[in-house]
Amino acid sequence: MEPLSPSALPGRQEGALAQYLRAMRAHPLVLIGITLLTLAAAALWLSRKDPVYKATAEVLVTPMPGDSASLFGLQLLRESNDPTRTLQTAATLVETARAAELTAGRMRGGYTRSSVEESVEVEPQGQSNILAVTAQATEAETAARLANTFVESSLQARAENLRRQIASLIAAVEGDGPGGAAEAGSEETRAELAQLRRISNGSDPTLSLAQRALAPSKATGPPPALVLFLAGLAGLALGAGAALLMEVSNRRVRDVEEIQSLYPLPVLARIPKLSGRESGSTLALPPAAREAYRTLQVQLDQDDTKPRVIMLTSANSADGKTSAAVHLGLALVAAGNRVILIDFDLRKPDIARMLRLPDSGGLVSLVSGRHRLEDVLVPAPQLPPLRVAPAGTGEGDALLLSALARRLGDILGEARELADYVILDTAPLGEVSDALRLVPHVDDVVLVARPNNTQRQELEAMRDLLVRSGVEPVGLIVVGASGSRASRYHSYGTPPRSRGRRSLTRAGG
């Protein structure tokens, strides 16, 4: 079979919604925490927020005819071809600093001209000839009184302004006749003077109160329930965004599906998560984990080609590679096979410590060529039929692998003569290339991955190295897979206590 190139391997294509849903499932506490904080902030804001009441009074605008010559000297509103602009001009005549000053003097509660200007708004009402004078306050009655007082003050300020203009015009008109007497003027002048005197003590004929403001029955703004609902939605959105950001920044694979999207291999076994006590024991595995390794052993035994050399490697350290190699060896021994377990992870040899093996020369003693593999094999104390070749060196002696590489053919050839299965534990291929030296001498490669530990970049690096070497692994062992639950069938036929030790020992013997 021609190996795939790295570019031909499929990757998972997710839509934006799928990414958000996956992130929320991966970080539920972040989502819930941010949502609750947002709701709490909204509730606190509602408890401290003063209610806002708005009341509106209406001013009628009646502009004088544009072609009227009467009272021509007064600054009165006149009709124009643009009614909207006329209303905007009227709004500026109503909303003045003098009106705000008069209103502040009449209101109680510490109002100033500035606070009145901030609390009152004058706007044209639609396409009508009405100006809406809207005032807001923390009490309904105060809002209505403020709107009405402002309208009254505006009309008063406008009347004061007109009286000053009229007085000035009357003085000017009276000064136009002989001797300063208006009666000596023309009839038109006398008519204009009489009209000015009639309105001298009145108000602006173009502005008048149309409707007083009434106290509103409820405060403005959305109801508290709606505020909390919107805050909850905002919290969900923020929480989902934070979860997505955490997910994007997380370099570890999240689940089996993501592992297979990066490297599409069959899953041979799903090892459930183990507690600290369970993971520290070599034989006393829970039924679900023991059954997973038994399933792996059955799949390997379906190929009756023996002897076989099986190499286990992973993308990262702490993926569970060494533990998987040990338990796979135990499962194969329990099935009646002769098994040799060799620790080729010279950078971090763990098998001797895990199985509590006595100190021995191990693989390093084979470098000189004076010893054979059989000389360094030691039986596993818990299960003597399993024979182990420990590394025989401490951490950091990876250079010895180069020396062993010259004898790999002889070492593994001897191992094939002594066992049905030879299990090789190697250094993580995603981090170092040591395992590539073994590839030409093995029959099968099995990869070990652990969700939330295996890093995407290292998994892709391991994949690319194997693809370029023309190696197609048999499949994956997924350690710590979620959703792998125990079944009552897992423990049928085994004693209720010490099942792992007794059953494996009898089967191996």
Q: Are 94 and 30 members of one domain?
A: no
**306 contacts 420 by C-beta, under 8 angstroms:** yes
Count of domains for the chain = 3
Q: What is the mean pLDDT of the chain?
A: 82
- CATH code: domain of residue 487: 3.40.50.300
Work out the end-to-end distance of the chain between its first and last CA atoms, rounded to an integer number of angstroms. 40
Q: Is residue 424 part of a domain?
A: yes
For 336-358, write each residue's pLDDT tens digit: 999 999 998 888 888 888 888 88
Q: How far is CA 449 from CA 8, 10, 115, 254, 313, in A?
A: 22, 18, 68, 11, 9
Q: Are 466 and 371 members of one domain?
A: yes
Q: Are 404 and 480 members of one domain?
A: yes
The dihedral over CA atoms of 446, 451, 452, 454, expressed in degrees to the nearest 10, equals 20
Q: Are 235 and 155 members of one domain?
A: no
Whether the per-residue pLDDT at 483 is higher than 80: the answer is no
Q: Is residue 5 part of a domain?
A: no
Q: Are 363 and 273 members of one domain?
A: yes
Q: Is residue 189 part of a domain?
A: no
Q: Are 356 and 271 members of one domain?
A: yes
* Secondary structure class of 130 (helix, strand, coil): strand
pLDDT at 499: 44
Burial of 289 (0-12, 13-18, 19+ CB in 10 A): buried
- Averaged pLDDT for residues 322-334: 92
Whether the per-residue pLDDT at 44 is higher than 80: the answer is yes
Q: Is residue 407 part of a domain?
A: yes
Report pTM: 0.58
Q: Are 124 and 273 members of one domain?
A: no
Residues shown for the chain: 509
Q: Are 334 and 429 members of one domain?
A: yes
Q: Is residue 197 part of a domain?
A: no
Q: Is residue 169 part of a domain?
A: no
Q: Which of 320-329, 352-361, 367-376, 395-404 ranks highest by mean pLDDT?
A: 320-329
Q: Are 332 and 452 members of one domain?
A: yes
Q: Are 104 and 115 members of one domain?
A: yes
Whether the per-residue pLDDT at 182 is higher than 50: the answer is no
* 369 φψ region: left (φ > 0), alpha (ψ -120 to 50), beta (else): left
Q: Is residue 260 part of a domain?
A: yes
Q: Are 234 and 354 members of one domain?
A: no
User: Strand 444-449 to strand 475-481: parallel, antiparallel, or no bridges (unpaired)?
Assistant: parallel
Q: How many Å apart are CA 290 and CA 282, to the nearest integer? A: 11
Query: Where does a domain end: 182, 211, 240?
Result: 211
Q: Are 321 and 411 members of one domain?
A: yes
**Cis before 286? omega within 30:** no
Domain span at 485 = 256-501
Q: Is residue 14 part of a domain?
A: no
Q: Which of 44-48, 163-167, 433-437 has the lowest mean pLDDT?
A: 163-167
Whether the per-residue pLDDT at 100 is higher than 50: the answer is yes
Tokens of 129: 């000839």
